[in-house]
Structure 1
Amino acid sequence: MDPRDLWAEAVAGVLARPLRTALTTLGTVLGIATLVITLGVAATAGNRIVGRFDELTATAITVEVPRSEDGPLVGWDAPAELTRLRGVASAAAVAQNEGDTDLTVTANRLVDPTRVTGRNLAVVAATVDLPAAVRGHVSAGRFYDEGHVRRGDRVVVLGADAARMLGVSRLADGPAVFIGERAYSVIGILSGLGRDQALSTAVIVPPGIGAHFGLKDVTRVLVNTHLGAAGLIAGQLPRALNPARGAELHVITPPSPTRARDAVQGDVNGLFLVLGLVSLVVGAVGIANVTLVTVLERISEIGLRRALGAARRHIAAQFLVESTLIGLTGGVIGASVGVVAVVAVAAVRQWTPVLDITPVLAAPVAGALVGLLAGLYPALRAARMEPVDALR
């Protein structure tokens, strides 16, 4: 059988029943479109997730400052100098006792045997830029400023969890807490910490007040950088904080987000790929069912062709080419619909569309392959018919 004759017969068979052909093609269109849409949306959403992941995790640097018998390695005024470095968004110095030694903090001096009025909380000294450095905000009251530091005012700011444990929620009445035998006015509550979550259960005091609790020297510096500047700033921090003894400082840089980013994007792509393949299988089953019904409806045609000398392979080839042609058409239409849908979703969500061109170009081939596989059984069944039985 000449290939041109085979192609002509297949096209004629496809066009002989336009409505049935359209319904069969629709299965492939839906499968391919779903595959392209899911892959495109996965890539676009993954890109969005990666951007947020980088913003939250790839900009935080911590400098651990060891204690030295020759004097403090980092002064309390050093973080203010760090903001002059290009790429530094915020910085703050923190002093905390080694081993996180907690102190007894009470909300009042009354002894109430029916409830716990005292808590063992960490007392931390920090500079005035701490809220920005820990990506938090003052949910009530205010954070102390340079005026409080210069005057040596006995004020504290409570972490959100510490305030809850001490029963401090309203600051309008000027509440105070007792650390040891001294009272300290609570002027603010720090909430929503993006890093250093342990500060949520701490009592934060100005550097001058911290000296009363042995918090004289800076123990760590918290630095936030702009996206992409963490590596450069990490190399500059030791010299900026202490040019002579910067080698003694331990800089903790954020881990490279590449591996985690690839893992997140791979998981998202894998999930949507499975969903797309399921839809594609559904489309293949639809093609197989409709093709099988078509074979049953064309039994007399098959018998006549066999009686006129067509071999089994000719009948099988005709139906395989028909189903492949339907799958190819559905692949082209489905890929086009998928690309338009991805761009539309990205436009509605105000995202940057990210679409790999490989699945789009491979979609027609995939559609043709699906059509070929879906028509395999019906074609074999048609080829096995005997001319006498088919004509009868």
Structure 2
Amino acid sequence: MKIRDLWTEALAGLLARPVRAALTTLGTVLGITTLVVTLGVAATAGNQIVGRFDELVATAVTVEVPEQKNAPLVSWDAVSRVTRLRGVTSAAAVAETKDSANLSVRSNDLIDPTRVTAQTLSVLASTTDLPQAARGRMVSGRFFDAGHVRRQDRVAVIGDRAAKLLGVGSLKRAPAIFIGKHAYTVIGILGELRRERNLSMAVMIPPSTGRQFGLRDVTRVLINTSLGAADLVSRQAPTALSPGNQDLLQVIAPPSPIRARDKAQDDVNALFLILGLVSLVVGAVGIANVTLVTVMERVSEIGLRRSLGAARRHIAAQFLLESTLTGLTGGVIGASLGVVTVVAVSAAKQWTPLLDVRLALAAPLAGAVVGLLAGLYPALRAARMEPVDALR
């Protein structure tokens, strides 16, 4: 049997039952479409995730300052040197200790045994740029400035959640809070924090008045950078903060956006790849089932061909080619639908579509392989038929 004759016979076998062939191909179409859509949308979504990832996490750098018994490693005015670095948008220094993390704070000096008037809150000292560094907003009032720090004014800014616990709502009458035995005037409420959300349950005071609570030295520096500058700033910030002692500072830099994209893409792939494989298995089972039914329906044809001189390999090759053509057709249609779906989803989400051309070209080949494997058993069964038994 020539290759041309084999191709003609296989094509005629498919076109003889077009509805059945179309339904059989549908399983492979769904499987290939799912695979192409999965990998295409995963790549596109991974790239989009990086674009949103850098908005907060990828631009936040934190420098941890260990405690020193002698001279402090970082001075309060060292933050001004960090803000001069290229790519730094805002920075603030914070002092917080274990003892100041659990101080008794109350909104009045009246002791009422019938109600709880004191709250255990975190008290910390900071520079004047803390709202920008914490990416928050003054809900009410204002943050203390350099004048408050220089005059050692007993003023405080409290977080929005701490304000609710203390019953501080309006600042028109300059309410006071008591940290231990010391009274502080509340001049502002800080809220809507996108970074350092624990500040919503904290009391912030100027560094000049924090010594009585052990808040003398800087323990942490918060730095915000522009997009793409976090890696460079994380290497330069320790030297700017403490020249000569930069190795003692611990820098917490954001992870690489490339690693974030790859991880997000891998997660999406792992989630949806299983669905694509299941669809391919369903399509393969459908091809195998229909091919086997076709073999049983064409027993007389197989017997006639064998009696006229067709060898076993000719029969097997004919049915294998039919199943392979079915899978190839499903692969071509599925790849086309997958590409169109990826572009449509990207357009609906206003994303930039990313699709590997090799995937679109390999999808039809994958469909052909699925069809070949699915038709293996029915083709072998057809080839094993004896001419006499088939004709009988």
TM over 0.5: yes
- For the pair 1:281 / 2:281, whether they are aligned, the reply is yes
Contact 2:28 2:279 in 1 (8 A): no
CA contact (8 A) 2:316 2:382 kept: yes
Contact 1:82 1:240 (8 Å CA) reproduced: yes
3-state secondary structure, aligned to 2:56: helix
- In 2, Cα distance between the equivalents of 1:29 and 1:322? 16
What letter matches 2:181 in structure 1?
A: E
Q: Which amino acid aligns with 1:118?
A: A
Alpha carbons of structure 1 residues 248 and 277: separation in structure 2 relative to 1, 3 Å: closer
Question: Which residue of the partner structure matches residue 361 of structure 1?
Answer: 361
Identify the residue that residue 102 of structure 1 maps to in structure 2.
Answer: 102
1:242-272 Cα offsets, whole Å, 9 max, x none, are 44x4437514131543555533332221112
Deviation at 1:105, TM superposition (A): 0.6
d(CA) in 1 for partners of 2:354 and 2:156? 49
- Deviations 1:226-255 (CA, angstroms, capped at 9, x unpaired): 232223222322343344x44375141315
Q: Which residue of 2 aligns with 1:223?
A: 223
SS at match of 1:184: strand
1:320-350 residue CA offsets vs partner (Å, 9 max, x unmatched):
1011011112112211221121112112111
Q: Does 1:348 align with 2:356?
A: no
Q: How does 1:208-247 map to 2 (within 5 A)?
A: 208-243=208-243, 245-247=244-246
The structure-2 alpha-carbon separation of the partners of 1:31 and 1:164, relative to structure 1 and needing over 3 Å to count, comes to same
Match of 2:200 in 1: 200
Query: Is 1:303 aligned to residue 303 of structure 2?
Result: yes
**1:254 corresponds to which residue?**
253
CA contact (8 A) 1:36 1:339 kept: yes
Please report how far the alpha carbon of residue 169 of structure 1 lies from its aligned counterpart in structure 2 after TM superposition.
4.8
Matched residues in 1 for 2:261 and 2:337: separation? Answer: 29
- How far 1:111 moved relative to its partner? 1.9
Q: 1:1-27, CA deviations, whole angstroms, 9 ceiling, x for partnerless residues?
A: 322321221122122233322222222
Q: Is the 8 A contact 1:63 1:249 kept in 2?
A: no
1:46-65 equivalences under 5 Å are: 46-65=46-65
Indicate if the aligned counterparts of 1:61 and 1:251 stay in contact, CA closer than 8 A.
no
User: Once the 2 structures are TM-superposed, how far is the Cα of residue 107 of structure 1 from its aligned partner?
Assistant: 1.8
Going from structure 1 to structure 2, the CA distance change for 1:248 and 1:25 (only over 3 Å counts) comes to closer
Give the structure 2 partner of residue 267 of structure 1. Answer: 267
Distance 1:19 1:120 in 2: 75
Report the 3-state secondary structure (helix = DSSP H, G, I; strand = E; otherwise coil) of the residue aligned with 1:345.
Answer: helix
Shift in Å, 1:73: 4.6
Moved over 6 A (4+): none
> Post-superposition shift, 1:151?
5.3
CA distance in 2, matches of 1:366, 1:211: 71
The Cα shift of 1:152 comes to 4.5
Count of paired positions: 391
d(CA) in 1 for partners of 2:239 and 2:271?
A: 47
Unaligned runs of 5+ in 1: none
Cα deviation, 1:185-238, whole Å, max 9, x if unaligned, reads 333333344443443332111233324434343332211122322232223223
1: CA distance between counterparts of 2:217 and 2:26?
72
Instruction: Determine if contact 1:50/1:265 at 8 Å carries over to the other structure.
Output: no
The match for 1:85 is 85
User: In structure 2, how many angstroms separate the alpha carbons of the residues matched to 1:141 and 1:78?
Assistant: 27
Correspondence for 1:292: 292
Whole-angstrom distance in 2 between the partners of 1:65 and 1:373: 63
Q: Deviations over 1:92-122 (max 9, x none)?
A: 0112235545322112222222332212322
Amino acid at match of 1:326: T
What is the aligned partner in structure 2 of residue 17 from structure 1? 17
Contact persistence 2:47–2:261 (CA under 8 A): no
Return the alpha-carbon distance in structure 1 between the equivalents of residues 285 and 161 of structure 2: 57
How far apart are the structure 2 equivalents of 1:68 and 1:294? Answer: 84
TM-score by length of 1: 0.88
Unaligned runs of 5+ residues in structure 2 are none
Check the 8 A contact 2:59/2:229 in 1, yes or no.
yes
CA distance in 1, matches of 2:216, 2:239: 22
C-alpha separation in 2, matches of 1:232 and 1:289:
61
What percent identity do the matched residue pairs reach? 69
TM-score for both structures, normalised by structure 2: 0.88
Distance 1:365 1:187 in 2: 70
The separation in 2 between residues aligned to 1:66 and 1:306, in whole angstroms, is 88
- Give SS of 2:210's match: helix
Contact 2:46–2:262 (Cα < 8 Å) also in 1: no
Partners of 2:291 and 2:361 in 1: CA distance: 26
Q: CA separation in 2, counterparts of 1:79 and 1:300?
A: 91
Aligned to 2:158: 158
